[in-house]
Amino acid sequence: MHDFKEPKLSTEDQVKDYYKKLESSKDLQTNACCTTDSIPNYQKEILKNIEPEILDRFYGCGTPIPDVLDGITVLDLGSGTGRDAYLLSKLVGERGHVIGIDMTDEQLDVAKKYQDSQAKRFGFTKSNTTFTKGYIEDLASAGIKSKSVDLVVSNCVINLSPDKPAVFKEIFRVLKEGGEMYISDVFSDRRISDDLRKDPVLYGECLSGALYIEDFRRILNECGCLDYRITETRRLTINNKELEEKLGDIKFYSITVRAFKLNLEDRCEDYGQTVTYKGSMENLSDQFVLDDHHTFKKGEAVKVCGNSSDMILKTRFADHFTYTGDKSIHLGAFDCNPIQCDEPASGGCC
């Protein structure tokens, strides 16, 4: 087994120092930490109601905001100034709770400064956010209990961790059964050399700390997660000649991934099951997208493998679907008709 643990080299301090110097996302030297993903219109409307200082210092590489969030508890890893946390705050509503974890005082100060004013902007009687200093490799020290969170999100942060297996182990520890990890991060098409990982600019720009996509799959397997799904993939262009020369032929991708704390199989199996979307999710009256090759249109029965069935029927999505079949009869391997492309594919299904 490959040793995924990266050389310490005061990585946390390097990252802190790098982001202390940034006044806004315009100060970044590449586009790796600048999202161009399409944001749903209803989320754009919420962003218009978030303090400008919070938005100006946003360094995400994607939009890790899934659906059906009302009333749940969300943990945002590396929450920074709170852009995603406040967006989630509005979506979970007053009955929900959003916890932001970050190791950088300067970022946390901005997030905390606006807790009361953001609650008022959203029409809440009190804030539903908590921002805590801590390390994503050790959530227990930050007071996050086992099986206490419905959803864990992270936006271009895990690549900065010097101990990525510890991060994912902690994620699955704090998730409730049926809970979800939904992250956007930078991944690579190969393992990156120690020399490149020691480069403070490449690391701070979310590049040389990128996790090789196959090692990501292996780490999740060790955490007991045998199937994950990709919802969006974007090839990154560095747009910095000096850094491009250092990186050579390495390909980088911004990938949004979802995985559930469920007892799934390592391959897609056929149990003769179908699911039908009711069209009842808020803002999703026509269709629901599970991943990049599973779109469920309202009223249409769709054949699914056992894992996809569990991702729908054993999670917060269950009330929005009807279904036929169970796992009492096995019909063999499920034909997923995998997509043929050069980009990274999902873990178990296709």
Q: Are residues 288 and 234 both part of a single domain?
A: no
Supply the pLDDT for residue 27: 46
Supply the pLDDT for residue 82: 96
The DSSP letter of residue 320 is: G
Residue 40 covered by a domain: yes
Instruction: Identify which of 112, 176, 145 has the alpha carbon closest to the alpha carbon of residue 314.
Output: 176
Instruction: Identify which of 304, 150, 164 has the alpha carbon closest to the alpha carbon of residue 220.
Output: 164
Q: Are residues 213 and 107 both part of a single domain?
A: yes
> Is the predicted pLDDT of residue 25 greater than 60, yes or no?
no
What pLDDT, in 10s, does the model give residues 46-65? 999 999 999 998 877 777 89
Residues 6+ apart with CB under 8 A from 87: 43, 46, 47, 50, 65
Q: Are residues 56 and 154 both part of a single domain?
A: yes
Say if pTM beats, i.e. exceeds, 0.75. yes
Residue 5 covered by a domain: no
Domain with residue 314: its CATH number is 3.40.5.100
Contact 32, 62 (CB under 8 A): no
Domain with residue 132: its CATH number is 3.40.50.150
What pLDDT, in 10s, does the model give residues 335-349? 876 544 456 766 665
Question: With left for phi above 0 and alpha for psi between -120 and 50, is residue 234 left, alpha or beta?
Answer: beta
- Residue 311 domain boundaries: 265-350
* Cα atoms found within 13 Å of the Cα of residue 197, Cβ hemisphere only: 24
Angle at which helix 164-174 crosses helix 213-222, to 10 degrees, equals 40
More confident residue, 25 or 91: 91
Give the residue from 260, 288, 307 where a domain finishes: 260
Q: Are residues 249 and 286 both part of a single domain?
A: no
Supply the pLDDT for residue 91: 98
Residue 91 covered by a domain: yes
> Is the predicted pLDDT of residue 334 greater than 80, yes or no?
yes
Contact 49, 121 (CB under 8 A): yes
How many domains, in total, are found in the chain? Answer: 2
- Percent of the chain at pLDDT > 70 equals 86
Nearest-angstrom CA–CA distance, 115 and 230: 32
Give the residue from 260, 288, 306 where a domain finishes: 260
Q: Are residues 201 and 75 both part of a single domain?
A: yes
Residue 230 corresponds to which tokens in the numbers above?
A: 């990709």
Supply the pLDDT for residue 182: 98
Candidate from 136-145, 196-205, 271-280 with smallest mean pLDDT: 196-205
Instruction: Identify which of 42, 30, 78 has the alpha carbon closest to the alpha carbon of residue 244.
Output: 30
Q: Are residues 102 and 246 both part of a single domain?
A: yes
What pLDDT, in 10s, does the model give residues 76-129? 999 999 999 999 999 999 999 999 999 999 999 999 999 999 999 999 999 999
Supply the pLDDT for residue 349: 59
More confident residue, 25 or 223: 223
Supply the pLDDT for residue 12: 57
pLDDT band at 154 (very low <50, low <70, confident <90, very high): very high
Q: Are residues 328 and 240 both part of a single domain?
A: no
Q: Are residues 328 and 231 both part of a single domain?
A: no
Q: Are residues 31 and 138 both part of a single domain?
A: yes
Give the residue from 260, 281, 316 where a domain finishes: 260
Residue 4 covered by a domain: no
pLDDT band at 312 (very low <50, low <70, confident <90, very high): very high
Supply the pLDDT for residue 45: 95
Supply the pLDDT for residue 5: 47
Q: Are residues 158 and 71 both part of a single domain?
A: yes
Q: Are residues 93 and 155 both part of a single domain?
A: yes
